[in-house]
Structure formats: C-alpha cells, structure tokens
Amino acid sequence: FSYADLYDYYLVRGYAVVEAAGIGTYGSEGFELCSTKLERDSHKAVVEWLTGDRRAFTDAVSNIEIKADWCNGSIAMTGVSYGGTIPFEVAVTGVKGLKTIIPFAGIASWYDYTNSQGIALLLSANYTEILAAYNSG
C-alpha cells in the first residue's frame, strides 16, 4: 500500500488532499499523545480549520494566518492502521463538516483491540505508551 496511490485516487477525482501530523509526530512539536483526547482534538482542529471555524498560521512564530478558502467545508478523513484510528476518534466528536470517514484497519475500540473477553492480549498494560513511542519514531 502506498499513500501516493491513495492520494492519486482522490486527486484525479477532483478532491483536495491534506496530510496533517498529530501532536508529536512527523516533525511536529510536543509529545506523542497516543489515544488521548488531546491527540483527537488536534485532528479535530484541522477539520475545524478546513470548515473555517478555526484560525491557523503558516508557522509558530511569524503570526501569518492561512485560510483554507479553497475548501467547500465537506471533509472526509482516511488513514491506515493507527492513522485509520484517528478518523474514528474525530468522528465521535460530531465536528461540523466531517461528512464521512474511510479508515483502513483502524482501531475502532481500544478495549476490544487490547482485550479478549476481559483478558489482556498484550504483555504490557501500557500498550498505548508503546504505540506512542512507535508512532513518534
């Protein structure tokens, strides 16, 4: 699977593609906050920016605002594996403008993902911390 193939699928059909990193990932600032409300809200903020309900800036210091005036306010989210989990997290907030999600192999339930009939499937109770370290690397 290649993200380029996924982007091409949408781009040739007239959709714009926005790639957004969460807190602590892909060179962004802060700590990886895997499966927390802060991580969810950072992605929700991108949807709010795209719909015109949140201000955004070109960088952290220049104070130059950037608008998504090219966006019609109808947003879809997609992703693969852990990136496929983020659309589930944002969708449950009911954020305006998020019309659909297309998650690939995302985690829809952390409980079901880490337990089987109440028994932990993993050796570490701190699995989200392990996943956070992996995602931030």
pLDDT of residue 84: 83
Q: What is the mean pLDDT of each run of 10 residues along the chain (137 residues)?
A: 74 87 67 76 94 92 94 90 85 95 81 72 64 61
pLDDT of residue 133: 65
Distance CA 95, CA 69 (A): 18
Distance CA 114, CA 124 (A): 10
pLDDT of residue 9: 84
pLDDT of residue 56: 93
pLDDT of residue 59: 84
Contact 50, 68 (CB under 8 A): yes
Distance CA 97, CA 125 (A): 36
Distance CA 74, CA 16 (A): 11
Q: Token digits for 45? A: 């903020």
pLDDT of residue 63: 93
Sequence letter at residue 108: A
pLDDT of residue 57: 92
Contact 18, 3 (CB under 8 A): no
